[in-house]
């Protein structure tokens, strides 16, 4: 098992090199650069001086090699826009993104799995139909619109919650709901269809024939076996949440990494963009690893394969 | 599983407790805090590391300069008196400034001529603001409170140029030590930095060392909140979460105007928006074609569609607020005239193929109106929307036919330099229309007599209008909304204000 984990951890290195190189190339070949943004009115000589100061006059491969070398030493570079270290910029924003992602994930998982399970075991009832209509709406509603609707209802009309910023727990409620709705709907639908498949299996019928209570059959036999696709989807959702949510962060002025990434791209602030990419790669790799390990816990056959490997 | 969830919840609560810091409470019943909402975070709090408008507001709070811009024009700030002296050739190229005594920086150190010299020399080394500081050739301290600034040629608007934040005074010792003015700004303005929560807000507190004892800020704490989305900013004002919104979305204005707890300020702005045409190559080298396009553009429709009517149409080539502005030789909306100019041009309008490049949604809407206007005289164009970095690259490279851009300044020379001076890579080289723009700007700069200067500006304005290097479109209004209990609010045409004048009604 540990060898499997180690192997997976080592695969992060080529993934990291590949993604940073691709993003670095895209940023370099994109029209415009940070110098144009910092000193739009400057003369050619002044711009050349600034380009030299920022190290942008070196060949691209040298710039990339320098970035990777510094990254290995824990230095993510200096933001062209603010002049502050990228680690400092990220450190100020990652806790907000992580908090929003964790709270949204908890809401998503706590509500989505029971919703999907109950909808499956009560298939074709009013609860099933209404929950699936809710899921369809959840997937279809754009977060931007949902966010504004929540602001108008709970912020402006009812005056129950603050409409923007991040000063208290109350500030977290609406962004977390906005963030969780689409994921909740997706996971609930996946759980429902997976559960429907499992409860029609022979071993479930056998368990029922043996006289085991229906709830116990669902809890002990069906749920665990139906969770594999749910774990996969939930892993991707949590990864996406941890990589920042541009729309939700913009609507609620939540100071997370998503808004920072967009602003860094428009400023052509390559060190900041690469810093965000490094964080995203690490996040997704770790989440995928956790998902793979969880597979082993849910399905003993997969655990056996890991052991063999 | 239950235990795991419990631990997770505890961890989340613990992490959040570090992020959520309660807002400081003011003394009972007396409001001494103001919360602003602005769309972008300043890239940098240093005076010299960038020149974006977002950085001007905090710099006005933290730093002060020899002069400052107010709604009444340029005023002395750290300077108490000044005069011009002649050089060996008899030219008025030496400016002598007396510095206010007893001024302290927010760190408690004294501000003297040494700091002024060090600041102005330091500003000239920074490429980001060099275009704002290249008018002087040398600076020297005569004594502790007198400074001489030497210019290569006669330069009539030194006070205006010194009112730019790039020339705001920094402590010389900190400059020499390579101090980080971005994270730890030290100035002599009415406020000082208290806390910068990146991406969220910047908090300033009043500077107890501020020299102007009569104008000590009545508001003790200023929170600068970053709210990117326009409607969210307006809603935050309506719910009382913020007190002051800069750049209100035009669509929100009618709703805010109905709210009696909110004051909506709509003032004439200096942001001059124009359709740039590449004068250096292609069909737009011909002034008749440029004039035909100008006559075909219906500015009133653009203002209605793109700005919800919060703008003023412009036809002359310099901003309306500038001294010496004239409409002489300017073209106005007239389709018959447009067709006449097309005839004089002699080409086939349907053969013209060009794109209007824009970088914002408002300008895209303006371009859509221009596109339909031009169709009426048989010209077919397309619209390309790009981000601002791409637009900057496009216009600096000269690889364009037309784009929509804007420029703002309260000072005519800064404005003329920004829009028309040919600096080699700047877009202005494509806006020369065969005129000696640099020569005309220099002649204005070298005219010290105000009456003669005004007459010269009028002449230059007429000359530029006659050549129609670009198509002026509109000057947008400055849209600001704030809590009705706030007093002392005065907004200048750039949308700037002096926070030290603000106070809460009791």
Domains of chain B, start order: 2-47+189-269+478-504 (3.40.190.10), 64-177 (3.90.76.10), 272-476 (3.10.105.10)
Burial pattern B99-118, b for ≥16 Cβ within 10 A else e, equals bbeebebbeebebbbbbbbb
Do A43 and A105 reside in the same domain of the chain? no
Contact A113, A194 (CB under 8 A): no
Q: Are residues A117 and A249 in the same domain?
A: yes
CB contact, 8 Å: B484 with chain A? no
Quickly list DSSP for B78-122. Answer: SEEEEEEEE-TTS-EEEEEEEEPTT-B-TTSPBP-HHHHHHHHHH
- Give which of A283, A258, A97, A244 is closest to A172, Cα–Cα: A97
Both A228 and A262 in one domain: the answer is yes
pLDDT at B22: 47
Are A40 and B392 inside 8 Å of each other by CB? yes
Q: Could you report the per-residue pLDDT of B307-354, keeping only the tens digit for each?
A: 999 999 999 999 988 889 999 999 999 999 999 999 999 999 999 989
Q: Are both A11 and A57 inside the same structural domain?
A: yes
Structural domain range at position A238? 87-266
Give the total number of structural domains in chain A: 2
Is residue B10's pLDDT more than 60? no
Q: What is the secondary structure of A211-260 as a DSSP string?
A: T--HHHIIIIIIHHHHHHHHHHHHHHHHHHHHT--HHHHHHTT---HHHH
- CB atoms near residue B144 (< 10 Å): 11
Same domain? For A158 and A253 the reply is: yes
Q: Number of CB pairs < 8 Å for A and B?
A: 179
Residue B43: pLDDT over 90 = no
How would residue B26 be classed by pLDDT, with cut points 50, 70 and 90?
Answer: very low
C-alpha distance from B424 to closest chain A C-alpha (Å) = 6
Rounded Cα distance between B339 and A289, Å, is: 69
Token representation of residue B108: 């408690």
Q: Which helix (H) or strand (E) holds B265?
A: strand B262-277
Confidence at B419, pLDDT banded by 50, 70, 90: confident
Predicted confidence band of residue B24 (pLDDT cuts 50, 70, 90) = very low
A133 in the same domain as A35? no
**Is residue A178 situated within a structural domain?**
yes
Nearest to residue B291, comparing CAs of B433, B439, B461, B435? B433
Cβ pair A268:B389 closer than 8 A: yes
Is the CB of B20 less than 8 angstroms away from the CB of A168? yes
Note the pLDDT of residue B9.
54
Q: Given A47, A148, A152, which is nearest B127 (Cβ)?
A: A47
Q: Which two tokens stand for residue B52?
A: 């974006």
Q: How confident is the model at residue B494 (pLDDT cuts 50, 70, 90)?
A: confident
Residue B138 bridge partners (DSSP): B150
> Testing the interface with A: which of B55, B128, B252 to mutate, by most A Cβ within 10 A?
B128
Q: Say yes or no to pLDDT of B155 above 50.
A: yes
A103 and A240 fall within a common domain: yes
A292: in domain: no
3 state DSSP class of A11: helix
Do A57 and A174 fall into the same domain? no
Q: Which two tokens stand for residue A127?
A: 């609860």
C-alpha to C-alpha distance for B79 and B101, rounded to whole angstroms? 9
Rounded alpha-carbon distances, angstroms, from residue B33 to B219, B469, B505: 6, 48, 13
B236-249 tens-digit pLDDT: 999 999 999 998 99
Q: Look up residue B450 and give its two tokens.
A: 């105000």
Q: Given a cut of 90, is residue B258 above it in pLDDT?
A: yes
Identify the domain boundary among A45, A72, A99: A72
Instruction: Classify strands B402-407 and B354-358 as parallel, antiparallel or unpaired.
Output: parallel
Q: Are residues A91 and A58 in the same domain?
A: no
Q: Determine contact: B386 vs chain A, CB below 8 A.
A: yes
Residue B354 pairs in a beta bridge with: B381
- Look at A44 and B226 and tell me if their CB atoms are within 8 Å: no
Are A248 and A300 in contact, with CB atoms under 8 Å apart?
no
Residue A113 covered by a domain: yes
Mean of the per-residue pLDDT values of chain B: 89
Mean pLDDT of B75-92: 93
User: Where does B376-433 have alpha helices with state H?
Assistant: 388-397, 412-420
User: What's the CATH code of the domain at A104?
Assistant: 1.10.3720.10
Give the H or E element holding residue B355. strand B354-358
Angle of helix B437-445 relative to helix B450-467, nearest 10 degrees, comes to: 170
CA B268 vs CA B78, B271, B311, B407: distances in Å: 29, 9, 8, 15
Question: Does A123 lie in the same domain as A16?
Answer: no
- Which residue is closest to B53 within chain A, CA to CA? A38
Q: For residues A40 and A102, state if they share a domain.
A: no
Q: Is the domain of A100 the same as that of A49?
A: no
Reduced DSSP (H G I as helix, E B as strand, rest coil) percent helix, strand, coil of chain B, to 5: 35, 25, 40
Per-residue burial over B305-320, b = 16 or more CB atoms within 10 Å of its CB, e = otherwise: bbbbebbebbbbbbbb
Among positive and negative, which fits the CA dihedral B267, B268, B271, B277? positive
Per-residue pLDDT at B72: 78
Local confidence pLDDT in tens for the 309 residues of chain A: 777 778 888 888 999 999 999 999 999 998 888 888 887 777 777 788 888 888 888 899 999 999 999 999 989 999 998 888 999 999 999 999 999 999 999 999 999 999 999 999 999 999 999 999 999 999 999 988 999 999 989 988 888 899 888 878 899 999 999 999 999 999 999 999 999 999 989 998 998 898 888 888 888 888 888 888 888 888 888 888 877 688 898 889 899 998 899 889 988 999 999 999 999 999 888 888 888 888 877 777 777 776 666
Residue A301 inside a domain? The answer is: no
Say how far apart CA A230 and CA A135 lie, in whole Å.
15
Give the mean pLDDT of B17-38: 65
**Closest of B15, B13, B22 to residue B203, by C-alpha:** B22
Q: Does A44 fall in a domain?
A: yes
* pLDDT tens-digit series, residues B391-400: 888 888 888 9
When pLDDT is cut at 50, 70 and 90, the band that residue B156 belongs to is confident
């Amino acid at each position: 098992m540990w060898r499997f984990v180690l192997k997976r951890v080592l695969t992060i290195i080529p993934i990291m090199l590949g993604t940073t190189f691709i993003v670095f190339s895209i940023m370099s070949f994109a029209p415009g650069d940070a110098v144009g943004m910092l000193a739009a009115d400057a003369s050619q000589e002044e711009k050349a001086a600034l380009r030299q100061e920022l190290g942008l006059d070196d060949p691209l491969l040298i710039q990339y090699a320098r970035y990777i070398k510094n990254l290995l030493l824990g230095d993510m570079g200096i933001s062209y826009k603010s002049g502050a270290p990228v680690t400092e910029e990220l450190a100020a924003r990652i806790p907000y993104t992580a908090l929003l992602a964790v709270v949204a994930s908890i809401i998503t998982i706590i509500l989505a799995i029971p919703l999907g399970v109950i909808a499956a075991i009560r298939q074709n009832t009013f609860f099933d139909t209404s929950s699936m209509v809710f899921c369809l709406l959840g997937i279809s509603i754009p977060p931007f619109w949902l966010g504004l609707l929540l602001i108008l209802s709970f912020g402006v009309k009812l005056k129950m919650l603050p409409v923007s910023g991040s000063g208290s727990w109350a500030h977290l409620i609406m962004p977390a709901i906005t963030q969780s709705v689409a994921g909740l709907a997706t996971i609930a639908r996946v759980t429902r269809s997976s559960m429907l498949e499992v409860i029609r299996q022979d071993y479930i019928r056998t368990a029922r024939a043996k006289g085991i209570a229906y709830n116990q059959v669902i809890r002990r036999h069906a749920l665990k076996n139906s969770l594999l696709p749910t774990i996969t989807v939930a892993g991707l959702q949590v990864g996406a949440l941890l990589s920042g949510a541009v729309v939700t962060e913009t609507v609620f002025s939540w100071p997370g990494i998503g808004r920072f990434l967009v602003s860094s791209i428009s400023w052509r602030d390559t060190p900041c963009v690469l810093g965000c990419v490094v964080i995203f790669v690490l996040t997704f790799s770790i989440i995928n690893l956790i998902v793979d390990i969880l597979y082993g816990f849910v399905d003993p056959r997969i655990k056996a394969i890991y052991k063999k490997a | 599983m239950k235990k795991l969830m419990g631990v997770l919840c505890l961890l989340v609560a613990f992490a959040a407790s570090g992020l959520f810091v309660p807002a400081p409470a003011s003394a009972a019943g007396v409001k001494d805090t103001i919360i602003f909402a602005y769309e972008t975070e300043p890239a940098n709090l240093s005076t010299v590391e960038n020149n974006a408008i977002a950085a001007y507001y905090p710099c006005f709070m933290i730093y002060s300069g020899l002069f400052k811009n107010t709604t009444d024009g340029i005023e002395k700030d750290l300077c108490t008196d000044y005069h011009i002296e002649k050089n060996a050739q008899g030219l008025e190229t030496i400016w002598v400034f007396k510095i206010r005594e007893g001024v302290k920086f927010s760190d408690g150190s004294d501000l003297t001529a040494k700091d002024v010299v060090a600041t102005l020399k330091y500003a000239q080394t920074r490429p980001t603001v060099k275009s704002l500081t290249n008018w002087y050739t040398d600076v020297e301290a005569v004594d502790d409170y007198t400074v001489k600034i030497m210019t290569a040629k006669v330069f009539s608007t030194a006070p205006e140029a010194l009112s730019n934040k790039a020339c705001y005074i920094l402590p010389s010792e900190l400059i020499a030590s390579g101090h980080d003015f971005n994270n730890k700004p030290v100035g002599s303005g009415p406020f000082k930095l208290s806390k910068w929560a990146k991406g969220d807000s910047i908090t300033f507190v009043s500077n107890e060392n501020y020299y102007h004892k009569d104008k000590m800020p009545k508001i003790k704490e200023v929170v600068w909140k970053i709210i990117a989305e326009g409607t969210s900013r307006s809603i935050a004002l309506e719910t009382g979460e913020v007190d002051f919104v800069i750049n209100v979305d035009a669509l929100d204005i009618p709703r805010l105007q109905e709210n009696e707890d909110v004051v909506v300020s709509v003032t004439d702005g200096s942001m001059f928006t124009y359709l740039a045409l590449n004068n250096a190559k292609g069909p737009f080298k011909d002034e008749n074609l440029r004039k035909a396009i100008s006559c075909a553009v219906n500015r009133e429709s653009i203002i209605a569609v793109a700005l919800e009517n919060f703008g003023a149409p412009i036809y002359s080539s310099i901003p309306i607020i500038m001294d010496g502005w004239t409409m002489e030789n300017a073209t106005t909306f007239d389709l018959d005239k447009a067709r006449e100019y097309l005839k004089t041009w002699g080409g086939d309008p349907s053969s013209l193929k060009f794109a209007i490049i824009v970088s914002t949604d408002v300008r895209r809407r303006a371009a859509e109106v221009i596109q339909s206007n031009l169709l009426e005289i048989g010209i077919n164009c397309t619209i390309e929307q790009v981000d601002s970095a791409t637009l900057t690259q496009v216009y600096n490279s000269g690889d364009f036919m037309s784009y929509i851009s804007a420029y703002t300044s309260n000072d005519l020379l800064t404005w003329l330099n920004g829009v028309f001076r040919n600096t080699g890579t700047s877009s202005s080289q494509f806006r020369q229309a065969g005129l000696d723009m640099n020569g005309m700007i220099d002649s204005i700069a070298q005219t010290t007599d105000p009456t003669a200067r005004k007459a010269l500006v009028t002449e230059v304005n007429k000359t530029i209008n006659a050549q129609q290097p670009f198509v002026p479109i509109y000057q947008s209004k400055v849209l600001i909304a704030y809590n009705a209990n706030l007093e002392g609010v005065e907004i200048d045409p750039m949308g700037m204000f002096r926070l030290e004048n603000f106070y809460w009604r009791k």
